[in-house]
Every structure is written in C-alpha cells, then in structure tokens.
Amino acid sequence: MTPSPAVPGGTLVLDSEGLAKAVMRDRAVTGWLALARADDLRVITSAATLVEVIHPRINRPALEWTLSRLVVEPITEPIARHAAALLADAGLHGHKYAVDAMLSATALAAPGPVTVLTSDPEDLTALCLGRVTVIKI
C-alpha cells in the first residue's frame, strides 16, 4: 500500500507583529512556532506583511532565516479582490486597513483550521468574520 502524501493539519498565520516577534525570537511566538511544527501546521504570512516588517533596523540575517522556515503567500488578484470585499463587509476602508485585509484574505484562503497571531485582534476578527481563530500576541 502506498502511503498518502502528508497533508498539513491547518495553518498558522503571522501578521507583521507576529513575524517581527519571530525574528526577535520572542518566547511566546517561538512557542507557537514549535507547536505548529509539532502539529504539522503550515506557517504562513502575506507578502504584504513584508512591507511592514522590513526596515533598516531589522536584523536581516534573522529575518531571512525566519522567512526560510515559513511560506510567504503572494498577493494575487483574487486575494486582492477578496481583501477589498472583506473591507466592504466589515465597513472599513483605506490604507489603514489594507494590509490587514490582505492578510485576512490570505488566511481565509489557507487550509483550515486557521489561527492568526496578531497584535491587532479586533481588526482581524472583524475582517475574518469569525472564520479563523485570532490570538493576540
């Protein structure tokens, strides 16, 4: 009998604060990442999140190492359109919410169950409409 291919048991999503804390080896986020590995969860972030995280003072080698251990999902036209719809559904608009909306659309497209680590649980909860677990870090 041929073994079935491994399928992740869900997805852990990092927002900009989650990714930044992973780069800084924050104890809580490091714990979440260890649990994700142990449970065979995919760990992802949105390509849009990189725009928020990359700045001149970031530890670039630590960032690159961290990124090598997760999947950076692209912002495709369907993701962008879904993000715009999420903003409209939540009654939000503008650049203040754009990256959160793109991250939310990315999370909603990921294999479930999905957990998002964020510093902004209110906006992510509103944008994801309760379809993901949102954890404040």
Predicted model pTM = 0.91
Q: Does CATH place domain 11-136 in 3.40.50.1010?
A: yes
pLDDT reported for residue 4: 45
- Rg from Cα positions in the chain: 15
pLDDT reported for residue 120: 87
pLDDT reported for residue 3: 45
Q: In sequence order, which residues have a C-beta less than 8 Å from that of residue 8 and are 6 or more positions away?
A: 40, 41, 42, 111
Ranges of each domain in the chain = 11-136
Q: Is 24 exposed, middle or buried (0-12, 13-18, 19+ CB in 10 A)?
A: middle
Per-residue pLDDT of the chain (137 residues; tens, 9 = 90+): 454 454 557 999 999 999 999 999 999 999 999 999 999 999 999 999 999 999 999 999 999 999 999 999 999 999 999 999 999 999 998 888 999 999 999 999 999 999 999 998 999 999 998 899 999 99
73 beta partners = 46
